[in-house]
């Protein structure tokens, strides 16, 4: 496994992050075996959220049983909209969610705490102020935004700098080789993929803010479970309706090239996709949510796979050949 330091956390963070939005965690199952294997593979970062139903309880049970809370970097999220659409970006909501998360996780602090959605009607200064209060109280080590635009993050960090406060230390948008045509939830999700988001990518590349990439395998489309010849079969394979945004012609073309190159390199499609993300100029930490030890091992191996610039361009349909 490879690691990068995140200054605010003062410890190395695994480049591959174990996501816990899968049914194993959200349904309250026993994930001890998966978490033990993650540790054995060198994965030390968990991505969870108050919104992920029983996920935090599952993690908390494991931490209590192992007695090794210090081995993990825990990323959780707060302030998800009510009824999916009503904004909750406020200090009151953040404190309510944090108290519940700390209780379920069985920990005294969360390492990286992200605002799950943004509310553009809330001034960034108010957000920076109350997140700094949570840090001053010792409940969180660092904070950031999931699904926040580059413009809002920039404004928040300028406010923090001008007022002697700590700003956003990380972001978590969708980012992958696969393009997301539209917001799959329709309630403020953001992606960095595609030509129209180039300027946002440039900002995060320049600042080198850590980017925790959710849906790095595009809800399983680039996991290897779906073949490029199964165009339009996303619902049959994964129960995903087309509105999820990954069912498009160019993604199947990318998938076909992944299959071709994966066969040549004797690696999996998932490994190739994650390696593409890891080799990006952005400071990426792809989040993957395998539910079996076998698939977890496959995902973890991506950390050691490197792609050439020509291979990256080929996979992203930027060139017709890899030469």
Burial of 229 (0-12, 13-18, 19+ CB in 10 A): exposed
Higher pLDDT, 236 or 79: 79
The dihedral formed by the CA atoms of 222, 225, 230 and 233, expressed in degrees to the nearest 10: -90
Phi, psi at 211, each rounded to 5°:
-115, 110
Question: With bands split at pLDDT 50, 70 and 90, how would you rate the model's confidence at 267?
Answer: very high
pLDDT in tens, 101-155: 999 999 999 999 999 999 999 999 999 999 999 999 999 999 999 999 999 999 9
Q: How many residues does the chain have?
A: 323
Stated as kind and residue range, the H or E segment containing 61 is helix 55-66
Residue with tokens 């939830």: 185
pLDDT in tens, 41-85: 999 999 999 999 999 999 999 999 999 999 999 999 999 999 778
Which runs of E-coded beta strand occur in the chain? 3-6, 11-14, 17-19, 45-47, 73-78, 110-115, 140-146, 171-172, 211-213, 284-288
pLDDT in tens, 271-303: 999 999 999 999 999 999 999 999 999 999 999
Best CA proximity match to 44, nearest among 76, 75, 10, 17: 17
- Coil, strand or helix: which one is 102? helix
Q: Is the pLDDT of residue 230 over 90?
A: no
Q: Give the Cα separation of 256 and 102 in Å (integer).
A: 43
Burial of 135 (0-12, 13-18, 19+ CB in 10 A): middle
Q: What structural domains and CATH numbers belong to the chain?
A: 3-225+269-307 (3.20.20.100)
Please give the pLDDT value at position 243.
53
Q: Is the pLDDT of residue 242 over 60?
A: no
Contact 87, 117 (CB under 8 A): yes
Read off the pLDDT of each residue in 213-228 and give the average, rounded to a whole number: 93
Please provide the average confidence, as pLDDT, over all residues in the chain: 94
Contact 173, 117 (CB under 8 A): no
- Coil, strand or helix: which one is 107? coil
Phi, psi at 231, each rounded to 5°:
-55, 125
């Amino acid at each position: 496994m490879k690691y990068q330091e995140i200054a605010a956390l003062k410890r190395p963070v695994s480049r591959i992050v174990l996501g816990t939005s899968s049914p194993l965690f959200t349904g309250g199952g026993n994930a001890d075996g998966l978490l033990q294997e993650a540790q054995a593979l060198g994965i030390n970062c968990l991505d969870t959220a108050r919104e992920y139903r029983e996920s935090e309880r599952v993690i908390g049970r494991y931490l209590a049983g192992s007695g090794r809370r210090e081995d993990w970097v825990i990323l959780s999220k707060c302030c998800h909209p009510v009824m999916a659409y009503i904004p909750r970006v406020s200090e009151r909501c953040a404190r309510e969610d944090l108290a519940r998360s700390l209780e379920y996780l069985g920990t005294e602090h969360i390492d990286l705490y992200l605002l799950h959605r943004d509310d553009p009607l809330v001034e960034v200064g108010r957000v920076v102020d109350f997140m700094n209060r949570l840090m001053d109280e010792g409940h969180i080590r660092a904070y950031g935004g999931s699904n926040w635009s580059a413009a809002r993050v920039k404004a928040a960090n300028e406010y923090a700098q001008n007022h002697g406060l700590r700003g956003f230390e990380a972001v978590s948008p969708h980012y992958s080789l696969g393009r997301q045509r539209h917001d799959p939830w329709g309630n403020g999700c953001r992606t960095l993929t595609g030509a129209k988001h180039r300027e946002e990518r440039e900002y995060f590349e320049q600042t080198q803010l850590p980017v925790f990439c959710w849906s790095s395998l595009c809800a399983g489309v680039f996991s290897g479970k779906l073949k490029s010849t199964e165009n339009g079969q996303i619902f049959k394979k994964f129960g995903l309706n087309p509105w999820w945004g990954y069912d498009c012609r160019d993604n199947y073309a990318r998938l076909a090239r992944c299959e071709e190159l994966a066969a040549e390199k004797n690696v999996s499609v998932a490994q190739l996709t994650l390696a593409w993300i890891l080799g990006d100029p952005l400071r990426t930490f792809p989040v993957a949510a395998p539910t079996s030890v076998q698939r977890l091992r496959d995902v973890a191996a991506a950390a050691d796979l490197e792609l050439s610039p020509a291979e990256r361009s080929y996979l992203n349909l930027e060139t017709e050949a890899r030469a």
